[in-house]
Amino acid sequence: MMVLRRRRLAQAGALGVFTATAVALTGAPAAAHVTVSPSVTTAGSYTVLTFGVPHGCDKSATTKVSIKMPEQIVSVTPTVNSNWTVQKVMAELNPPVKDSHGNEITQRVTEVVYTAKTPLPADLRDTFELSLKLPDAAGETLAFPAVQTCEQGETPWVEMPAAGQDADELEHPAPTFVLTAKADADAEEAAVQPVSQTTEEPAGGTGVVGWIALVLGALGLVAGGLALLRTRKAA
């Protein structure tokens, strides 16, 4: 009796684990929305933003993706993608600003539009990379509202969470990320410094070994040369 009950309990436990895993796995697609992955998030630095389009509008293939730029971003260099044509939508900048080379910029990029040469099937993924300079506003959230147009319908990835709300609760969250402070980036970099670059050459360390190897190598050469000479003489 006791054994039977224990077996039932174990089976129930296993079933529980299986179900939890299944739910977690099935939940994954919902989280795979149009997102942005910055190469760096450091305020004021250059970065490459990768926008991923992991699925269509329900079962419909994607024909166009337009990505809006935050106000603070002035110029953008989109990466070409052979499946798509790319267009930059410009707007007047009033007043004009100066770029890092002192050149006057009178227009800013408000939107980047990728149009499919052949529609992207709903079960395939593609990515778009934009190179740009991040604004000097550490701690600020940058949002890139994107509209995904499909053969049937469209999906506006433009929702922003209310204060204190988790973006995961939104059905169509806008791609966003938070700018980080340069100090954090420097600290992070210092933390991952490879040992070899920071430490002094240990006394009697690898330098000496190097010298020995060199001398031995030279000796080997000389010996080899002598042997060659000897054989030639003998011949």
Q: Which residues bind Cu ion (CB under 5 A)?
A: 32-33
Nearest approach, Cβ of residue 157 and Cu ion (Å): 9
* Contact between 41 and 134 (Cβ < 8 Å): yes
Tell me whether residue 92 or residue 171 sits nearer to Cu ion (CB atom).
Answer: 171
143: DSSP letter = E
Tell me whether residue 10 or residue 32 sits nearer to Cu ion (CB atom).
Answer: 32
Handedness of CA 42, 44, 45, 49 (dihedral sign): positive
* Contacts of 18 by beta carbon, 8 Å cutoff, 6+ apart: none
Nearest approach, Cβ of residue 176 and Cu ion (Å): 15
Nearest approach, Cβ of residue 55 and Cu ion (Å): 6
Handedness of CA 218, 221, 227, 229 (dihedral sign): negative
Tell me whether residue 6 or residue 59 sits nearer to Cu ion (CB atom).
Answer: 59
Nearest approach, Cβ of residue 122 and Cu ion (Å): 11
Tell me whether residue 34 or residue 142 sits nearer to Cu ion (CB atom).
Answer: 34
* Position closest to Cu ion via CB: 33
CA distance 63 to 113: 11
Tokens standing for residue 192: 């991952």
